Amino acid sequence: MRKLFAVAWLIFPVGVLAYHYGPGQTGVAHDAVGAHLSIARAAEARDDWQGAMKAYADAAAVTPQNEPSTRLKIRLAHARARMYAGDLPEAMEDLETTLTDALAQNAPRELVKEIRSSVASMHYYAAWLMRLEGAQADEWTVETEQARQHFRLLAEDATAYGEPSDAHQKNLEATIRLARMDLSELKGLPLPKECKNCSNCSGKCRSQRESRTKVPKKSDDARQDVQKDKQSGAGQNDRPEGSGS
């Protein structure tokens, strides 16, 4: 019996280490994620959106890679906090990428719906702000069209699954009204809380569109430019001004 006890005692630390570096690590990670999420929710309750963003980022950093749905949920929460912090265009772009990833990963349908609904709402708020900022119609209608398409997809999906689609239909109608509303009427409405900390939404959305449409030069084009430069500079000193002799 003593011999058996001695063997068991020697094996015990090995078992503890195996658990600690195996399944135990998952438990440690979950505890860390939970702690960061608690900090994020407390920050949200204080309207400390920068603090919430940091806590969500910390939670994402320790979330196991083999839990894609959890990671998507944290990215969604981070984007929402970023919107309330005043970075609506940036949050919208983050969430568009999150939606693309969710679809590619075959994420749960309810999660995809929640992400898409938030994307649609952000486009709606962006259009609202852009109109108030005096953006051209061809700029803010890009946002209302994106919102309309997402809300329409949500309504159609709900109908296909036999679920109520009233909320999505109302959002769709609200988006259409926003696009048709006279600017003076829009100015008379209270600003949504999602928009209150945002500024220069038009400029940021414009920059995002321009960066997406820029096409990098092909290598052949680059070589042609170099050849043109050489020809135009033939017989001249190629050194930059101010260089030594």
Q: What is the pLDDT along the chain (245 residues), one digit of tens a residue?
A: 555 444 444 455 554 444 444 455 566 778 899 999 999 999 999 999 999 999 999 999 999 999 999 999 999 999 999 999 999 999 999 999 999 999 999 999 999 999 999 999 999 999 999 999 999 999 999 999 999 999 999 999 999 999 999 999 999 999 999 999 999 999 999 999 999 999 899 999 999 888 877 755 554 554 455 454 444 443 333 333 333 43
* Cα distance between residue 206 and residue 173, in whole Å: 26
What is the DSSP secondary-structure string of 134-184?
A: T--HHHHHHHHHHHHHHHHHHHHHHHHTT---HHHHHHHHHHHHHHHS-HH
* Cα distance between residue 206 and residue 213, in whole Å: 11
Q: For position 224, what pLDDT does the model report?
A: 53
Q: For position 62, what pLDDT does the model report?
A: 95
Per residue in 38-48, pLDDT (tens digit) is 999 999 999 99
Q: Does domain 29-205 correspond to CATH entry 1.25.40.10?
A: yes
Per residue in 3-15, pLDDT (tens digit) is 544 444 445 555 4
Q: For position 36, what pLDDT does the model report?
A: 96
The residues spanned by each domain of the chain are 29-205
Q: For position 136, what pLDDT does the model report?
A: 95
Q: For position 1, what pLDDT does the model report?
A: 53
pTM over 0.85: no
* Cα distance between residue 39 and residue 55, in whole Å: 6
Q: 147 near 123, Cβ under 8 Å?
A: yes
| C-alpha torsion sign, points 81, 67, 156, 142 | positive
